[in-house]
Chains A and B, each alone.
Chain A
Amino acid sequence: MKNLNSLLAGIFLAVAFPFGALVVSSQVQLGSLGPAPAEEGGPLFPSREPGLAIQGRAVYVSLGCVSCHTQQVRPAGQGSDIARGYGVRASVARDYVLQKPVLLGERRIGPDLANYGARTKDLAVVHTAIKHGGQFTFLYTGAKQEVASERAVALAAYLQSLRQDYSSPEAKLKK
C-alpha cells in the first residue's frame, strides 16, 4: 500500500470486476431480449407503444413521477403486489425491452403503475388521477380545469398504454 500503482490497480479491479460481473454480464444475458410470442405463432409482446404514449412518457419523466410511483410487480411471496391487484403476474425483464428509459422506480408513495392501463379503462378516471387532487392541475385549462392540455392528453395515453397482462415466454398466464 506504499506503492501508488498497486493501490490504484487494486481499486481499479475493485470497481471494474463488479462492473463486469454485474452490469456487462447481465447485458450479455438480457441484451438480446426482444418482443416474443408466448406460444409459437402467437402475437408478439410487449407491443410497440403508440406515438402519443411515447410523448406521454417524456411528460412522466420530466415531472419526476418516478419519485413516487414504481412500475414493477414483484413475484408472489415477496410483498402483496399481485394480491393488491397491481398485476396478474410478476414483471419479467422482457416487459421492459422497448422502454426508453426504464422507469422501475424505488418508492411507492403512490400506487404501482405497471398495469395502470390494464386496470383503468375510463379516460375521465385517468385525468382525475393525474390531477392528484390539485397538485397537477396546471396540466389542465378552462374554468374548472376540465380541458386537458396536450401534455395531459399524452400523459393519459402513456398511462393507459402501461400493461403487463399478456403471456410472455418467461411468465405464462394460466388459462
Chain B
Amino acid sequence: MTQENRSGRPQGRPPEGDSRLTRTESQLRGPFLLFFISSVIWLLAASVLGVIAALQQGSLAGGPFRDCEILTYGHVAAAQHNLFVYGWGFNAFFALNLWLLSQLGRFELRNGWLATLGGVFWNLALTYGVVLIFAGNQTGFALLEFPREVGPVLAVAFLLAGFWPIVAFARRPTGHTFASQWFVVAASFAFPLTYLLAQLLILWQPASGVVQAIAHSWFVSNLLHLWFGASALAAIYYFLPKVLGRTISAYYLAPVAFWSFVLFAGWTGPAALIGAPVPLWLQSVGVVAGAMLIIPVIITAINFHGTLSSEGGWSRAWNDTTLRFVTFGAVAFTVFGVLNAIFSFRGYNAVTRFTSFAAGQEQLLTYAFATMVLFGAAYFVLPRLTGSLWPSAKLVHVHFWSTALGAVASIVALLVGGWENGKQLADASVSFQQIAKSTTSWNTVLTVSAVLLLVGHIAFALNAFGMILKSSAPASAGRHD
C-alpha cells in the first residue's frame, strides 16, 4: 500500500476528484438520496421520542404521559434507541459508505435498483419492528428488541443495501488502497456476520441462561465499534485530507490503527458484564480489550490531530462547515477512547455500573463522534449530488450550535450524573428514594439537551430537504448529464 505509488498520487491522501458531478456520482444519486432522506426522517422521529423519554425519566409516575400504555418509558426508550441506531445510523452510513467507496474506487453502480430495493426493505422492516415495540411486542435485549421475524428481513436488506462498498472495493481500477476503504469494507462485512450470529443465539435458538447475555454484549460492542466506529473513522480519514488539501500525518501508522481496532473491538463486549453472574475470565478479557483499544485511539489521534495541527489547520477546520463537524467528531473519538480505557477497569466500573454512565459513553460514540461526522459529510456530499447550494447559512449555524451544545450537555449529564449516582448507589446508607431525588437536576439538563438536539435536527432537515426539493425542480433538471 505504501510502496505502490506509481500514479504520482501523494500518500495518505485521497485522489483529487472532479469538481463537476461525475458519472459515478450521478448513478449513485437515486439510492443515496433514498438512504439519506429516510435517515433524516428517522433521526427526527428518534429525537422527538428522545424528548418524550427525557421527560419521563425525571418522574416515577411517567411525567406528562402517565397511564398511557403506548408511551410507557420501556416502549419509548426502546423505540428511540432502535430508530436512532437502525434508522439514522444505518441509513446514513449506507449512503456515505457507498458514496465514499464509489469515489475512491471510481465505481459505477449499475444495479442501483438492488440498493434501492434493499433500502425499501430495510425501512419497511424497521417501521414494522417499531410499531410492534409500541404495541408491546419486544424481546428484552437492547438493540435486538424487534421481534425475531424482523431480523432475517433486516439481514437480507443489509446485503442488498450495504454490501456495495465491498463490490466497489473489488472492482477498483488501481491496486492502491486508502485507509477509508479498509474501514468501510470492515464495517460492511462485520455487521451482517455479527447480526446473524446474534439473532441465531439470542432469538432463534436461544443459548442457555446467561450465555444469552454474553452473546448480547458481544453483539452490542461489535455493532457500536465495527459499524458506527469503523464507518465514521473511514469518513474522517477521507474528509480531513480532502478538504484541507494535505496528507494525513504519520499515515504509515494507519494500517496499525485499522488492524488493532478491528482486532480488539470484538473482545470488548464482556466489559459490560462486570459483576454479572458470568465467568470471571470473560469479564477480565473485556477489561483488557477495552484498555488495548487505546492503541488505535492513540494512532488515530496522531493521524487526525497531527494533520489538523500544522499550518493553521484548526482555524481552517473551524471556518469550513464540513470540517467543523468532522473535527468535532475526531476529538470526540479520542475522548471516547480514553474514557473507555479508564472506565473499563473494575474499580471504576463497580461505581459506574447500572448508572447512566454507559449510556453517556454510547452517546459519545454514536452521537458526538459518528453523527457529527455524518453531518459534516452531508454538507460536503449533498451539494455535489444535487447540484445546488445549501439554502440557508443561518440554519447551518443553528444546526451546528444546537447539536454541539446538546451533545456536550447530554454527555456531561450522563457521565457526571452517572458517576454521582454510582457513588450514592455504592453507599448502602443512601436510600433509593434519596438517589432518585438527587438525579432530578441532571434529568433537567437531559431534557434541555434533548430539545436542543431536536431543534438542531429540524434545522438540518429543513435545509437538506429544501435543497433536495430545489434540485429536483424542473428548472435545474437538465444539469445532471
A residues with CB within 8 A of B? 1-2, 4, 7-8, 10-12, 14-19, 21-23, 26-27, 29-33, 61-68, 70, 72, 74-75, 77-80, 83-84, 90-97, 99-111, 132-138
Q: Given A14-B263, A135-B60, are A29 and B206 neighbors across the interface (CB < 8 Å)?
A: no
Contacts of A101 in B (CB 8 A): 139-141, 202, 206, 212
Q: How far is the CA of A121 from the CA of B285 in the complex (A)?
A: 40
A selection of 6 A-B contacts at a CB cut-off of 8 Å is A30-B211, A31-B211, A33-B208, A104-B277, A109-B57, A133-B61
Contacts of A8 in B (CB 8 A): 166, 185, 189
Nearest A residue to B275 by beta-carbon distance? A74
Q: Which residues of chain B (268-306) have a CB below 8 Å from chain A?
A: 269-270, 272-279, 282, 285
Contacts of A137 in B (CB 8 A): 66-67
A1, A23, A100 — most chain B CB neighbours (10 Å): A23
In the complex, the answer to whether A26 meets B211 with C-beta atoms within 8 Å is yes
* Residue from A4, A12, A77 within 8 A of B169 (CB atoms): A4
In the complex, the answer to whether A30 meets B61 with C-beta atoms within 8 Å is no
In the complex, the answer to whether B169 meets A79 with C-beta atoms within 8 Å is no
Q: Is B356 part of the contact surface with A, judged by Cβ < 8 Å? A: yes
In the complex, the answer to whether A2 meets B175 with C-beta atoms within 8 Å is yes
Q: How far is the CA of A108 from the CA of B189 in the complex (A)?
A: 35
Q: Given A12-B189, A96-B209, A96-B277, are A78 and B194 neighbors across the interface (CB < 8 Å)?
A: no
Q: Is B177 part of the contact surface with A, judged by Cβ < 8 Å? A: yes
Minimum CB–CB distance for A143 against chain B, Å: 14
In the complex, the answer to whether A67 meets B74 with C-beta atoms within 8 Å is yes
In the complex, the answer to whether A102 meets B210 with C-beta atoms within 8 Å is yes
Segment with Cβ contacts to A, from B18-26, B40-48, B308-316, B426-434: B426-434
Q: Given A1-B1, A10-B259, A80-B428, are A27 and B266 neighbors across the interface (CB < 8 Å)?
A: no
Q: How far is the CA of A8 from the CA of B78 in the complex (A)?
A: 33
Contacts of A33 in B (CB 8 A): 208-209
In the complex, the answer to whether B262 meets A11 with C-beta atoms within 8 Å is yes
Q: How far is the CA of A92 from the CA of B275 in the complex (A)?
A: 10
Contacts of A78 in B (CB 8 A): 274-275, 346, 350, 353
Q: How far is the CA of A22 from the CA of B351 in the complex (A)?
A: 25
Q: Which residues of chain B (335-370) have a CB below 8 Å from chain A?
A: 346, 350-351, 353-356, 358-359
Q: How far is the CA of A141 from the CA of B272 in the complex (A)?
A: 40
Minimum CB–CB distance for A150 against chain B, Å: 14
Q: Given A8-B189, A12-B189, A67-B74, are A106 and B209 neighbors across the interface (CB < 8 Å)?
A: no
Q: Is B52 part of the contact surface with A, judged by Cβ < 8 Å? A: no
* Residue from A2, A21, A62, A136 within 8 A of B177 (CB atoms): A2
In the complex, the answer to whether B140 meets A132 with C-beta atoms within 8 Å is no
Q: Is B197 part of the contact surface with A, judged by Cβ < 8 Å? A: yes
Contacts of B409 in A (CB 8 A): none
In the complex, the answer to whether B267 meets A104 with C-beta atoms within 8 Å is no
Segment with Cβ contacts to A, from B151-159, B214-222, B242-250, B467-475: B214-222
Q: How far is the CA of A111 from the CA of B128 in the complex (A)?
A: 32
Minimum CB–CB distance for A16 against chain B, Å: 8
Q: Is B13 part of the contact surface with A, judged by Cβ < 8 Å? A: no
Interface size range on B against A: 35 or more
Q: Is B62 part of the contact surface with A, judged by Cβ < 8 Å? A: yes
In the complex, the answer to whether B189 meets A79 with C-beta atoms within 8 Å is no
Q: How far is the CA of A20 from the CA of B64 in the complex (A)?
A: 47
Q: Is B457 part of the contact surface with A, judged by Cβ < 8 Å? A: no
In the complex, the answer to whether A97 meets B74 with C-beta atoms within 8 Å is no
Q: How far is the CA of A31 from the CA of B56 in the complex (A)?
A: 39
In the complex, the answer to whether B346 meets A26 with C-beta atoms within 8 Å is no
Minimum CB–CB distance for A11 against chain B, Å: 5
Q: Which residues of chain B (1-39) have a CB below 8 Å from chain A?
A: 1, 4
Q: How far is the CA of A109 from the CA of B439 in the complex (A)?
A: 10
Q: How far is the CA of A63 from the CA of B285 in the complex (A)?
A: 33
Q: How far is the CA of A64 from the CA of B62 in the complex (A)?
A: 14
Contacts of A135 in B (CB 8 A): 56, 60-62, 66-67, 72-73
Contacts of A99 in B (CB 8 A): 209
Contacts of B133 in A (CB 8 A): 64
* Residue from B78, B209, B214 within 8 A of A64 (CB atoms): B78
Contacts of A68 in B (CB 8 A): 73-74
Contacts of B263 in A (CB 8 A): 14
Contacts of B175 in A (CB 8 A): 2
Contacts of B279 in A (CB 8 A): 26, 29-30, 93
Contacts of B428 in A (CB 8 A): 80, 83-84
Contacts of B1 in A (CB 8 A): 1-2
Minimum CB–CB distance for B442 against chain A, Å: 12
Q: Is B207 part of the contact surface with A, judged by Cβ < 8 Å? A: yes
Nearest A residue to B141 by beta-carbon distance? A101
Q: How far is the CA of A70 from the CA of B255 in the complex (A)?
A: 41
Minimum CB–CB distance for A47 against chain B, Å: 15
In the complex, the answer to whether B277 meets A92 with C-beta atoms within 8 Å is yes
Minimum CB–CB distance for B136 against chain A, Å: 4
Contacts of B212 in A (CB 8 A): 101-102
Nearest A residue to B226 by beta-carbon distance? A15
Contacts of A4 in B (CB 8 A): 166, 169-170, 185
In the complex, the answer to whether B266 meets A64 with C-beta atoms within 8 Å is no
* Residue from A14, A19, A64, A79 within 8 A of B197 (CB atoms): A19
* Residue from B139, B182, B272 within 8 A of A7 (CB atoms): B182
In the complex, the answer to whether B61 meets A62 with C-beta atoms within 8 Å is no
